[in-house]
Structure 1
């Protein structure tokens, strides 16, 4: 199904997104001392919460602002908005290529976390909760922006795998930054790890989580603020560089293979069928944009980013 220009460039949807984003940025970063650490709330969290109220499935009256095609259009805009991000991420890797090579096996070991999500979470999702292929998208990584692009390219966001990765992405955005900001304070209070190691641990491949973690550490150890920011940012960039490739060539294929094994194991142990998300006919319909719409959307997003960064 081709999206018409009137639906794709629905001005109400774009104005709503812009207004909610501006309100979230106006509120800014909120910090709370909770004794065991510093809890940090980021603008991305507010934007998610505000957007929930305009979901037609949650609030039918406010959902009329977005329209019945809002979900279909938003899914395409997610992919377009990810393109400049992935390009920026790729360009950022280039100047750091020597450091990436010099780091050697250390970076590969750092990416064990991507495989660990499969080892620990996938068996629970399939054997305990009876999840279907949603578990592949949900557990193959920590499900940040590059992983959404990977799943969208491989399966599509309207598939069970796409639903799984988006679900974890939303949960990570809502609670990930809060969790990291609290854990940073707790672990730093132990006095066991070097401040540089703590800063590098903040770089898990998520800008919001890295920001919350490094900000919390900077509050606790202000004398090392510059080192914390530098090491956290470098680690995050290197994790982006290696994490996507580990997801493509190791974690995702391993998750698909393990899902097949666990599915057979569950069938032999229990008569309870594996639960697979039923996507409605309308949602399951293949949606695409024309080349002109794609280029126009990219130009619009790039101009908007240029204005925001320049300001």
Structure 2
């Protein structure tokens, strides 16, 4: 009898503890947020990611019921901000706007955190690389461009935003998919690479549609194809790589989304997910993205988390193949 009483008491205690723990999470969600929420941006104020963060914060505040303050925490190509976001208190009061560098930097030994240190809230953006060349280039289609590169190995100078950057990885993915060889020319960002392309100093760039949109509209440059399964909204007449018969390079490119520390209670994360998803659907945010030529990709936390895992594996293999580990 004594043994049965002890087992029953133990079972009751475990159930009571579990109930209190679950109740604690529910209480945390009920009380959340407790004051303004901080949104860490791992890059400088005034840049593209910062602008997206501020537009998203403005659109989300009314749905969250609290103000969202953007804090720029820079350094290490994003690693400093990622680390601060991952090590913040897991109470939902600190969220981080992460970019594709979260899954590339770890493979190059440039960051001690990755997507596994976070719980995904949602994705708001993806920009496929747009292979762009001078308007008077001797090729008008992706096929002609690839044929020229095959016939002239290493002759096409492909600008990027630095070794190991997303645009360098995009160009390298094209090489792997097609078997061609480029001369990779690094710049301190995509903007100077585009400027060099306009000046005739390089032959092509694989940057986001937004970064070449004014020059393409001004007929100074022409975009041959975008590396995605669907055409870019700002370039509806430009075919995709898949349409041109090259599908292996799809999915390469920068993305942005919101995350919280890994141990944040699911109930709190759900409140944030609902608010940020609603904010991303607000007309003013979508208008901001459209006006700036940025691709809208709105996915929930589960889908975003899965995508980050797939990106981590993809870039790990690519970076290893390039010897950039």
Which structure shows the bigger proportion of residues in strand conformation? 2
TM-score of the pair, normalised by structure 2: 0.26
Give the greater-gyration-radius structure (CA): 2
Q: TM-score, normalised by structure 1?
A: 0.27
Give 1 or 2: higher helix fraction.
Answer: 1
